[in-house]
Amino acid sequence: MTSAAAHDYSGVPQGAPVYELTNVSKTYARNQVVALQDVSLTLRKGSFTSVIGSSGCGKSTLLKIMAGLIPPTKGRVILQNKPVTGPRRDIGMMFQQATLFPWKTAAENIVLPIEIRDGKAAAKKAMEAAHDLLEMVGLKGFEDVYPNELSGGMAQRASICRMLITEPAVLLLDEPFSALDELSRDLMNMELQRICREQNATAFLVTHSIQEAVILSDDIVVMKPRPGRIAEVVPVDLPRPRTLDMMTTQKFGEIVDRIRAMLDKGEDM
Amino acid sequence: MTEFQTNHPTDEETVQETVWEQEVAFIDSVPRSVAMTFVFVVFIGTWQLVTALGMVSPIILPTPMETFKDMIFVGQNLLTGGYMLDSLWITILEVIYGFALAIAIGFSLGVLVGETAFGEKAVMPYLVAIDTMPKVAFAPLFVAWLGFGIESKVALAAFIATFPIVVGTAAGLHAADENARMLFKTMGASRMQTLIKMKLPTGLPQIFTGLKIGAVGVMAGAITGEFLGGGKGFGELIRVAASQLNTPRVFSLILYLSVVGLVLYLIVQWTQRRVVFWQKETVGSYDG
Ligand SMILES: Nc1ncnc2c1ncn2[C@@H]1O[C@H](COP(=O)(O)OP(=O)(O)OP(=O)(O)O)[C@@H](O)[C@H]1O
Ligand SMILES: [Mg+2]
């Protein structure tokens, strides 16, 4: 692995394509469900993209294929000029549940990816980085606390740290905050935006919330179900950095309405 | 903006506190020690009454006093290193060896069945089939194979205790949820790493449940083995006392034996609390 400088480890210039998906299709062999059909998508370095679409339209499937967790039936996935053929270090992933392991402290949970890949000694060395990350997400002092004593939001923060510890170039997020209440969710989203900017990471977020997609994204991929495919990619030209009060602006409302109309139309198909 | 009416009490007003007594039924408010003593007294009282009124023959049911006297006698014999201590020690050894064997075999089989598709498909059906048999019926076989020494008792004890440990281990390995599996996959974990760092720790509560059931079974197995296969253990003492219609002795021997079983169970439970420190107590805690 390349060990480049802390904040731009991938070495890819801002705006250059990082992720390239070409005609990705997925049919689950088990039940012959066509989960994805001819999905082509390019993510640019440092961009934030959200996917939105009705339940079962293949969002999680798309994310799993991008992460190298399951193979596509057809098509090509390229990340940083290398085809994705399995889990990779330059991919960070986060799921709906925080999934911290109760027998490890917060810090130990965070260095787990290092422990798995490089062994216990490397994990020990990464402890300091874990402490820094915990401080960054406002969990200073919780390093040695076991997950049982963390609130849902705190656990999600810790799992963000676990995703970031390997300094991934892209972050794949599958409804990471949907288990949180709206208030903490908004705060976590702002936190996420700050982290992505700070680390210059490319983010790809699956969400059910149109507001969340609009406030965070540069582009919103709207998907249609059965078979899952891309209906449209909507650019969001709100200025950066985004703030929560942008949610009350007219422009924000217009984009939300536009996407909602698209999703409603999708339901009829 | 909407204006909200706030309800701060002024100085003159006294705050109406809403501290209230939660209603607890009297019987639930009794401390554990008192409740246990109460049940004990009722039990002994009924026993005394039944025997004192001559409702059953003293050969079938001795009085509490007789039993108590015999317990003291047996206790003295044990403490002074009498022949009963030798017997008890033999039974304890059978239990220890049997449990160790059951843990080794049960855990290995549990991993085979819980982790590999081959084990699940090809081994599990046979285990289920054997498990549904009355395992005690194998005792004469073990005696025929291994003789009248402690080996045949160890075998029966281990045989009975193995199955709950297999089931507990296999169930434990299936306890990890989809998210945890996905997470380990994204981290590029090998199968061995996933097993050791995730599935086994996740399954520890179930594994310990299996161990606890096994600990009870191992005692039953050792004593049954002694009943059916002779030898010099505590079970033999019970059998002899019963054949001599020395019922108080039978009662007091059983009581001492149950102490051994209880200690074994408590050791497993204590280990569980140590090892699975994150597991919440499910009983006995009221407000967190
Ligand atoms: N492992 C699987 N085996 C078979 N079919 C699957 C599998 N996973 C998903 N599917 C099917 O593929 C389709 C897409 O599922 P997917 O989980 O990608 O949807 P989603 O957009 O993430 O939905 P949600 O918003 O509810 O999370 C669904 O019809 C689902 O039934
Ligand atoms: Mg999904």
Mutate which of B181, B187, B202, B279 to test chain A, going by most A C-beta atoms within 10 A? B187
pLDDT band at A178 (very low <50, low <70, confident <90, very high): confident
Q: Tell me how many degrees the CA angle A206-A207-A209 measures, rounded to the nearest 5.
A: 160
- Our answer on whether the CB atom of A32 is closer than 6 Å to any ligand 1 atom is no
The model's pLDDT over A209-240, given as tens digits with 9 standing for 90+, comes to 999 999 999 999 999 988 999 999 999 988 88
**Number of separate domains in chain A:** 1
Residue B244 C-beta-side C-alpha neighbours within 13 Å: 10
Return the number of other C-beta atoms located less than 10 Å from residue B265's C-beta. 16
Neighbours of ion ligand 2 (CB under 5 A): A 60
pLDDT band at B150 (very low <50, low <70, confident <90, very high): very high
Residue B60 is classified by DSSP as T
CATH number, span B70-275: 1.10.3720.10
Count of all residues that appear for chain B in the document: 288
How many Å apart are CA B147 and CA B156, to the nearest integer? 12
How many Å apart are CA A217 and CA B154, to the nearest integer? 67
The model's pLDDT over B54-98, given as tens digits with 9 standing for 90+, comes to 888 888 889 999 999 999 999 999 999 989 999 999 999 999 999
How many Å apart are CA B130 and CA B143, to the nearest integer? 19
CA of B94 relative to ligand 1 center, distance in Å: 54
Q: Who among B177, B180, B193 is closest to A116 (CB)?
A: B193
CATH number for the domain spanning A55: value is 3.40.50.300
Q: CA of A189, closest CA in chain B: separation in Å?
A: 21
Give me the helices (H) in A21-137, please: 59-66, 106-110, 112-118, 120-125, 127-136
Mutate which of A61, A84, A89, A103 to test chain B, going by most B C-beta atoms within 10 A? A103
Collapsing DSSP to helix, strand or coil, A30 comes out as: coil
Chain B residues whose CB is inside 8 A of the A103 CB are 201, 276-278
- Our answer on whether the CB atom of A58 is closer than 6 Å to any ligand 1 atom is yes
Query: What is the interface pTM, i.e. ipTM, of the complex?
Result: 0.84
pLDDT of residue B281: 62
Return the number of other C-beta atoms located less than 10 Å from residue A214's C-beta. 25
pLDDT of residue A213: 94
Q: Using N-to-C axis directions, what is the helix angle for A152-164 and A182-199, rounded to 10°?
A: 20
Minimal CA–CA distance to A50: which of A246, A252, A211?
A: A211
By DSSP bridging, strand A202-206 and strand A33-44 are unpaired
Give me the helices (H) in A137-181, please: 152-164
The model's pLDDT over A81-130, given as tens digits with 9 standing for 90+, comes to 999 999 988 899 998 888 999 999 999 999 999 999 999 999 999 999 99
> pTM of the entire structure?
0.83
Chain B stretch 209-238, residues whose beta carbon is closer than 8 A to a beta carbon of chain A:
none
Q: Cβ(B94)–Cβ(B225) under 8 Å?
A: yes
Ligand 1 atom nearest residue A228's Cα: 14
CA dihedral B92, B95, B98, B104 (to 10 degrees): -100
Collapsing DSSP to helix, strand or coil, A40 comes out as: strand
